[in-house]
Structure 1
Amino acid sequence: MNKPELVFNKVNLILEKVLIVIFALLVLDVLFQVFSRYILGTSFTWTEEFARFSLIWLTILGAAYLNGKREHLSMDFLYQKFSESNKRKASILIEVLIFLFALIVMVIGGFNLVYTTLHLEQLSGTLRIPLGYIYAIMPFSGLLIMCYSVYHISTIYSNKIKN
C-alpha cells in the first residue's frame, strides 16, 4: 500500500467514526426529546436545535465521505457505453468538475458564510452557539472533497500508466 492510499484509508476511518458519533448523538437527542415530551410532559427547546445542527453536519460530512468512497448517487447509463479510454477521460473530467464545485461553492462560499456570520456575531436561537461554528463544516467538507478528487485523479492516472 502506497502512502497516499494509507492517508486516504486513515482519513476515511476517522471520518466514519466521526459520522457514527454524530449519528449516535442525533439519535440520543431525538429519543430524549420524545421521552421528555411524552413521559415527563415537558419539552426542551434545545433538543430540536441540536438535532437540526447534527443533521446538517451529518449530511454535509456524509456527502464528503461518500464522495471519497465513490458511493455517491450517479447516473452512469451513458458512461457505461464509453470505451475504456473515454471512461478514463470522463472520470477525470468529472473529478475536475467536482473539485471546482467544491472549491467555488463549498470552500470559497463556505468561508464567506463562516466569516460573515462570525463577523456579525450571529448566535443560534436556543443553544447560543455562534452560527459560524455550525457553518464551518461546509468549507471543511469542501476541502475534503477537493482532496478526494485529487486522490481519485491520481489513481485514475496511475492505473492508466499500469495498463
Structure 2
Amino acid sequence: MGDIATTAKRLSRRVNWLVERICVALLVLLVLDVWLGVLVRYVIPLPLTFTEELARYLMIWMALLAVSSGIAHREHIGVAFVFERLPAAARRWLAVGFDVIGFAFFFALFWYGLGFAERGFSRLTMIYAMPKGYAFAGVPLAAAMACVQLALIGLHDFFARDVPEAVSAPTPDARVG
C-alpha cells in the first residue's frame, strides 16, 4: 500500500515540476510584456497596443495553472480548526474527503470550462482580433491539472502510512528529497 502512496507522490511532484516551469515562463513573459508596455507608453512612443491585453491573459493563465501547484504542496484551503482536533483515523478520511470534494469542484469547472472555451471561439479579442477561446482554454486546462493533482494527492492520503497532521501541512514524503 505504501508503494501506491509513494508512486502517487512521485507522479504529483513530476507534474508539479512541469507546471511550475510553465508558470515561471508565463511570469517572465508577463514581466517582459509589462516592461514593454511601460517603455512604449512613456519612453519610446510606439503604437503598440497589445501589451495590456497580453498581460491580462498571461496573468490569468499563470494564476489558474498555479492552483494545481498549491494543491501539490497541500497549500489549498481546508477546515484546519476541525481537522486538527480529530483523531488520526478520522483525519485520514477527512483529508480524503477534502480531496474528493475538491476533485468534484474542479471536475465541474473543467466540464463547464470546456463549453466556456468553445463558446469563446465565436468571440474575438478587441486588439488582437483572435478568438477568445484560446484565452478561455486556460480554465479547463487548469481545472484538469487540479483534478490530476487532487487524484494523486488523494491516492497518497488514502494509502500513506502516516496520517496528515494538518490540512495544509506538506505530506510526509514531500519533505524528503
TM norm. shorter chain > 0.5: yes
Amino acid of the structure 2 residue aligned with 1:54: L
Please give the secondary structure, in 2, of the residue aligned with 1:54: helix
**Aligned-residue RMSD, C-alpha:** 2.0
Match of 2:114 in 1: 111
Say if 2:31 is the partner of 1:27: yes
Choose 1-10 or 23-32, whichever is displaced more: 1-10
Match of 1:144 in 2: 145
Q: Residue 139 of structure 1: CA displacement?
A: 0.9
Amino acid of the structure 2 residue aligned with 1:159: A
Residue segments in structure 2 that go unaligned for 5+ positions in a row: 164-177
Amino acid of the structure 1 residue aligned with 2:24: I
Aligned partners of 1:130 and 1:152: how far apart in 2?
Answer: 35
Aligned partners of 1:73 and 1:98: how far apart in 2?
Answer: 10
Distance 1:161 1:15, change over 3 A: closer
Q: Which runs of 4+ in 1 moved over 3 A?
A: 1-6
Please give the per-residue CA displacement for 1:61-113, whole angstroms capped at 9, x wherever unaligned.
01122112212344512211111111111111111110110111x21110010
Which of 8, 12, 20 is 1:8 aligned to?
Answer: 12
Residue segments in structure 1 that go unaligned for 5+ positions in a row: none
Match of 2:85 in 1: 81
Matches within 5 A, 1:42-61: 42=46, 44-61=48-65
Using CA pairs below 8 Å that are at least 6 residues apart, which structure has the higher relative contact order?
2
Aligned length in residues: 159
Say if 2:71 is the partner of 1:67: yes
Aligned partners of 2:53 and 2:45: how far apart in 1?
Answer: 19
Amino acid of the structure 2 residue aligned with 1:117: G
Distance 1:47 1:136, change over 3 A: same
Q: Once the two structures are aligned, what percentage of the paired residues are identical? A: 23
Q: Residue 15 of structure 1: CA displacement?
A: 0.7
Please give the secondary structure, in 2, of the residue aligned with 1:82: coil
Per residue, is there more helix in 1 or in 2? 1
Distance 1:75 1:27, change over 3 A: farther
Q: When the two structures are superposed, what TM-score results if normalisation uses the length of structure 1? A: 0.88
The answer to whether the 8 Å contact 1:108/1:139 transfers is yes
The answer to whether the 8 Å contact 2:106/2:147 transfers is yes
Which of 92, 96, 99 is 2:103 aligned to?
Answer: 99
Aligned partners of 2:157 and 2:75: how far apart in 1?
Answer: 16
Aligned partners of 1:4 and 1:84: how far apart in 2?
Answer: 21
